[in-house]
A and B are shown apart, each in its own frame.
Chain A
Amino acid sequence: MSTIAEQEVAPKLTAKDFASNQEVKWCPGCGDYSILKQVQTVFPDFGVPKENIVFISGIGCAARFTYYMDTYGMHSIHGRAAAIASGVKALNPDLSVWMVSGDGDALSIGGNHFIHLMRKNFDLNYMMFNNQIYGLTKGQYSPTSEKGKVAKSTPYGSVEEPFNPLEVALGAKSTFVSRSLDRDPKHLQMVLKRANEHKGTSFVEIYQNCPVFNDGTFFAFSEKETKKQQALFVEHGKPMIFGNNEEMGIRFDGLTPVLVNIQEAGLSANDLWIHDEKDKTKANLLARFMDWDQDGTPFPRPFGVLYTEDRSTYEAAMQQQITDIVARKGKASLDKILSGDKTWTIL
């Protein structure tokens, strides 16, 4: 037995340790670079050995992420990362499983797996890079593209109503619903840390700029000129305040959220909606802000952790069932299984 002093203490890893030897091949200026950097920056803090981390991705620009992380990983097929990740986690619950998916991969071809993963609640982390466009196939509208979107396959504009990813996740009983963006490194790092800490499927929607096919779609929420007015960064226990001079707030009129000018209305912070990330009803309202306006003024877009819930994970429940039944009945003997209950012997 060695004393603590004698034990080899592994040096803390750095962001560089998480970079694979593969050349990163996204387009210049792609938001994916920033997301990769933030992931590599925060991972050393998680203290999980590299060999215990698995990235599973589907198909699309975002899905190439897997090749750039020096962890275990599988770049799989379109839409199916959630199903593959479920199998990985079910078999070996000790692995730290991360998924990378785009808006088309997650919500179009992989929509069925998306909703069922949320409900089953495997303990893994789901990063969905939302750029509201199909990039790898060169610019078709996606299930998150706004109605009327002019793209390669919709030269006269899309006629479809888009998905609101956070609303879908909440409806599918997700236990961790959050949103961040590529161009706010600190915020993204904070949300990734929260996702890692959460036991259950942590859904992180990441607004990601596609400079080639959908440039600037989310700049309103990241650029200095508009960010404070149009983005709302929510924090548990803090009032909903935004605006260039933090002059705007959100309060409830009955069950209806209302935009208010705090001073003009003679209110204090305590009169405002205090964010409670355990409150699903309010999380649903927050998720719907993107569809609402008040007399033509759009509601600000919320970022941060909208909702969390403690619920047993699939793999733990699955393992527990096995443990309980083995405790009750004992470990099965193969001979008993081969013979079954009813046999006869021919002499």
Chain B
Amino acid sequence: MELVENIVSSNASLIEADSIVIRFSGDSGDGMQLTGNQFTDTAAYLGNDLSTFPEFPAEIRAPIGTTAGVSGFQVHFGSREIFTPGDEYDVLVAMNSAALKVDLPRLKKGGIIITNTAGFDKKNLGLAGYPDGVNPLEDGSLDNYTVHKIDITKFTKDCLAGTGLGMKEIERSKNMFVLGLLFWMFDEPMDYTITFIKEKFAKKPEIAEANIKTLKAGWNFGDHTEIFTTRFKVSSAHLPKGTYRNITGNHATAIGLVAASEMSGLPLFLGSYPITPASDVLHELSKYKTSGVKTLQAEDEIAAICAAIGASYAGGLGVTTTSGPGMSLKTEAIGLATILEIPLLIVNIQRGGPSTGLPTKTEQSDLLQAMYGRHGEGPIPVIAASSPSDCFDTVMEAARIAIEHMIPVICLTDGYIANGSEPWRFPTADQLKPIKVNFVTEPNGPDGTFQPYKRDEKLSRPWVKPGTKGLMHRIGGLEKANNSGNVSYDAVNHETMSLLREEKVQRIADYIPLAKVDSGKDSGKLLVLGWGSTSGAIKTAVRELIEEGHDVSHLHLRHLNPFPKNLGEVLSQYDKVLVPEMNMGQLLKLVRAKYLVPAEGLSKMQGLPFTTAELRNKILDLLK
């Protein structure tokens, strides 16, 4: 945060900042996600660039007041381009002792803390694990920060006294007090949230009124008390001209699928089973009945992908969405789709593993599973999204490959970009590229016969919708004879077919863009090679270092199988290659094996994205 003292308003000076990071932190039931989202939407509406990072426990309601139950929402907004939710925050809102304990370590030195003192009584301090008699608000341990101690619970109660609302409803409104106070602190209007509250509680006007009253009370508290001596102003960002919306990765995935359906003219079918953090895609797509989308919540992960295979076989765009354990369960069916050579989209929103692992935390550890996780030789294309809005383009690209090349495609996102959001300059429908679908209706073999495995120049086989006269044929999981598709146990044929399936994947490289450096020069000392959600952090670190005069470049991969044709050539232009990944070095293994480059990895497996600082340090270390 770079501050320039600017205007003096009522009782507080207004300071201009080019970017701010706020962390809303509280108990799972304190409404921090909603508070953060409302603040974000307002900032977006004011034209800030931003990036968000919701972080919540795997338990829906962990024991109240404990560190296990802390739910956080981080928003980084600014007047310049923002690519990450920020390494450290400028402002920490801590609704109780546990929230302060969990999130204090990543607050900037000298940062602002806003606490709800009601959450720092003996009971709460004990639940948070502070030793008996220790209260961080009293013992001087926060002397290096600006601490605002406010009894938010009491103010909320006073504000809503006499409204006839029960204690529970009143308590629930306290997040609105905080939101109002922050809107005042950052000179942001309340209109957007007031409209939101009115819509959300349209059927409960008394609740809507209480929330609006508390929101305004928070604002007025900032304005009238003399506790706050400074307010901050973050001007609009100089983003490219256009119309924007704020979007999360899961939401972008959902509408990317709808767009792929419209661009291909294929009916969209989603087979899915509830799993964190993928469920939001199922929720979102279930709303699109007016686009004719069919969603089936299956009895299990296996049924979900199998139903999608059935839908693709019947001539639709079959999709399944899942995470971690679900991906493992779908493995056999992915193998079936591989040998059937039908279009299918498997979207894996990665989370920490193995087994149940870290359901609500992010990781990039399913890349090798996507590449190799089938018995037998079962090559299929793999692509990955790099940011929340990039999920849209990536999913559309996955659908294009699946349909135009007749092949199942694994599309990887992860918990970080799935739940995180950013402003998106969305396309209009006429800017989207059509996806070519070619349903075969005529015989293609000798004497009017039909050969389901006769291939074209892409090595893809004909797609025939059941219902097409004269082309009845059977396909299945047994190895088939080249061209005729009849069951074949012939030894040489199996090798031929295995090689054809691999070559078919590799040939996709003729239909995807070449690798291009995102930041920095086309050759030099060090290339940082990334894939997936690390994009924002790498971009930020590399751009900073380039500005500081260092010789470093950044290349980010969307296509992981096949790689862009020129990737080996690009890598060879640098003395060193660094591959940062939220795993133990999976892309690293792939590029080392394929291109024999002495690439080095940077691993992180903490359920958290890389910070810019972590990347800077490693890059500087390699540049020494």
Interface residues of A (CB under 8 A from B): 20, 22, 49-52, 54-56, 59, 66-67, 69-77, 80, 82-92, 94-95, 112-113, 115-116, 318, 321-322, 325-326, 329-335, 337-340, 342-347
Contact = CB atoms under 8 A, between A and B. Distances in A.
Contact of B310 (A70, A84, A322): A84
A339 B471 contact: no
B299 A112 contact: yes
A224 B303 CA distance: 43
A95 B466 CA distance: 8
B197 to A, nearest CB: 15
Nearest to A94: B467
Interface stretch (B275-283, B362-370, B422-430, B608-616): B422-430
B486 interface: yes
A332 B287 CA distance: 11
A50 to B, nearest CB: 6
B478 A75 contact: yes
B280 to A, nearest CB: 15
Interface residues of B, number: 73
B603 interface: no
Interface centre among B245, B426, B432, B474 (most CB of A within 10 A): B474
B241 interface: yes
A25 to B, nearest CB: 9
B467 A92 contact: yes
Contacts of B210: none
Given A51-B470, A335-B429, A345-B243, A91 B303 contact: no
B487 interface: yes
A345 B47 CA distance: 8
Given A52-B466, A90-B311, A334-B429, A342 B246 contact: yes
A83 B307 contact: yes
B179 to A, nearest CB: 17
Interface string B575-605: 0000000000000000000000000000000
6 contacts: A49-B469, A92-B465, A112-B300, A321-B289, A344-B245, A345-B243
B426 A339 contact: yes
A326 B476 CA distance: 36
B44 interface: yes
A9 to B, nearest CB: 16
Contacts of A321: 289
A332 B288 contact: yes
A49 B245 CA distance: 50
Given A75-B476, A90-B269, A339 B245 contact: yes
Contacts of B269: 87, 90-91
Given A113-B303, A332-B291, A54 B466 contact: yes
Contacts of A85: 310
B4 to A, nearest CB: 23
Nearest to B41: A342
B298 A91 contact: no
Contacts of A66: 474, 476
The 9 closest A-B pairs by CB, nearest first: A87-B310, A75-B476, A83-B306, A87-B307, A83-B303, A332-B290, A72-B466, A116-B299, A84-B310
A343 B245 contact: yes
A293 to B, nearest CB: 36
Nearest to A75: B476
Contacts of A88: 310-311, 313-314, 466
B136 interface: no
B494 to A, nearest CB: 17
Contacts of B315: 91-92
Contact of A87 (B311, B335, B427, B469): B311
Contacts of B239: 346
Nearest to A92: B314
B240 A346 contact: yes
B474 to A, nearest CB: 4
Interface in B19-43: 41
Contacts of A51: 466-472
B404 interface: no
A56 B466 contact: no
Given A71-B472, A338-B426, A84 B313 contact: yes
Given A89-B310, A344-B47, 4 more contacts: A67-B476, A92-B315, A326-B289, A339-B243
Interface of B: 41, 44-47, 236, 239-247, 255, 258-259, 262, 267, 269, 271, 288-292, 294, 296, 298-300, 302-304, 306-316, 318, 332-333, 335-336, 340, 426-429, 432, 465-478, 486-487
A188 B314 CA distance: 29
Contacts of B291: 331-332, 334, 337
Contacts of B271: 83, 87
B344 to A, nearest CB: 11
Nearest to A71: B472
A326 B290 contact: yes
A84 B244 contact: no
Given A77-B477, A113-B299, A330 B468 contact: no
Given A76-B476, A90-B311, A346 B306 contact: no
B474 A20 contact: yes
B556 to A, nearest CB: 24
B246 to A, nearest CB: 7
Contacts of A84: 306-307, 309-310, 313
A51 B468 CA distance: 6
Given A87-B271, A346-B241, A75 B477 contact: yes
A96 to B, nearest CB: 10
Interface centre among B41, B239, B289, B470 (most CB of A within 10 A): B289
Contacts of A52: 466-467
A22 B481 CA distance: 13
Contacts of B472: 50-51, 70-72
Contact of B241 (A337, A343, A347): A347
Nearest to A340: B245
A346 B255 contact: no
Contact of B298 (A83, A115, A339, A344): A83
Interface centre among A54, A343, A345 (most CB of B within 10 A): A343
Contacts of A115: 299
Contacts of B465: 92
B340 A74 contact: yes
A71 B470 CA distance: 9
A77 B291 CA distance: 32
B244 A343 contact: yes
B258 A346 contact: no
Interface centre among B314, B468, B475 (most CB of A within 10 A): B314
B443 to A, nearest CB: 13
A113 B47 CA distance: 50
B296 A90 contact: yes
Nearest to A327: B290
A337 B292 CA distance: 13
Contact of B290 (A67, A89, A113, A325): A325
A116 B302 CA distance: 13
A331 B290 contact: yes
Contacts of B468: 51
B243 A344 contact: yes
B44 A67 contact: no
Contacts of A54: 314, 466
A331 B239 CA distance: 33
A91 B255 contact: no
B342 to A, nearest CB: 10
Contacts of B470: 51
Contacts of B477: 59, 75-77
Interface centre among B41, B242, B296, B428 (most CB of A within 10 A): B296
B613 to A, nearest CB: 30
Contacts of A332: 288, 290-291
A79 to B, nearest CB: 8
A56 to B, nearest CB: 7
A91 B311 CA distance: 5
B159 to A, nearest CB: 28
A59 B300 CA distance: 19
A268 B421 CA distance: 77
